[in-house]
Each structure stands twice: as C-alpha cells, then as structure tokens.
Amino acid sequence: MMRLLHWRKASEVGTSEVGTSELGTSELGTREVGKTAVSKATVKKSDTGAVSLYVAIVFVVFMLMAGLVADGADIRQARRRLDDLAARISREAAQQINTAELHRSNKAVLNITKAKTVGEGLITRLGLKGEVKTTRERVIVTLRETVKPSLSIIASSQVTARREATAVSSKTTKGGTS
C-alpha cells in the first residue's frame, strides 16, 4: 500500500498540518510523484517576516562590528603616526649639540635649550600637541592626538593616542666614537 502526504491551504488551517493517508482516500489535495508523495506544508501566519527580522538583526550586528574595526584601525594609525613623528622630532632635536663644548673638550654635548626649541618648533609646525624634555644626553618627545571614533555611542566620545620617543645624543670625538 502506498502512503501519501496531504496538505491544506493556509487559509483553511491556521497551523502547519501535514498528515498521511492511504492512496485514494485523501480529500486534502495530495499529489503523487513517482512512489513518493510530495505535500505543501502550510506556514503559521506568525512566522511570516521572521527571516527578515533575523537578516535585519544580523545586518546591524555586522555593521557595528565593521564600525568597531574601522575605529580600531583609526586609533592604531594615529598611534603609528605619532610613533614615527616623535622619533623624527627627537632625532632632529638630539642633533643640536653645543659647538663650544665640542671645540673645547672634543665631546658632543647636547645644547639643551636649542634642542628643546627645535623640538617644540617642529611640534608646533606640524600642528601637534606635545612636549619636549631634554637632559645633557637625551631628548624625550611626547606627542598626543585625539581620535574621535565613529561609533561614539559604544566607545567613549574621544580616544587620546599618546606616544613617546627618546633620542640619545652620541658622544663623539675628533678621532671617532668614544
């Protein structure tokens, strides 16, 4: 005996109802394909639009994640840029040696005021925020930049990238490095 699946239209039954019947006894609209019967199962009216809601939620989640990735990339790029600029400024400032001391003792000693002036001048010229600290042998440059994330509702409204670089003045004599 062959078993057939039967179906009803969604307007006739409010729920999904699939049953079986013997061949020839179904009055619910069965159709036979080969030896297997295929039926159209009805869908609950409350299920309509569920896929659209799921797609909308997943889309929002993916957009938020993409925004977080973009914000993280912006912050990382700002930090790399500050690293590079702080290193360049500190090296430039560390090249300001006291020439009088060099002629007198054959030792390169950092001209503290000139190094600080050069470092601060470069910071100002580049439109950055930062400070320069100097000692007899070192120039320490600290730079800060504020990055505003595009997803400020999730993260804080501003993130401050801060980087520091130190350059050491080399001690040279006329004969070479001592």
Closest by CA to 93, choosing from 129, 137, 126, is: 137
Looking at every residue in the chain, the average pLDDT score rounds to 76
Which pLDDT tens digit goes with each residue over 131-159?
A: 999 988 889 999 999 988 877 665 567 88
Q: Give the Cα separation of 13 and 28 in Å (integer).
A: 11
Whether 46 and 10 have beta carbons less than 8 Å apart is answered as: no
How much is the pTM? 0.60
Give domain limits for the chain: 3-47, 76-177
Portion of the chain with pLDDT greater than 90, in percent: 30
DSSP letter string over 18-81?
-EEEETT---S--EEETTEEE------GGGTTHHHHHHHHHHHHHHHHHHHHHHHHHHHHHHHH
Which pLDDT tens digit goes with each residue over 58-115?
A: 999 998 888 888 888 988 999 999 999 999 999 999 888 888 888 888 887 888 999 9
Stronger pLDDT, 60 or 45, i.e. the higher one: 60
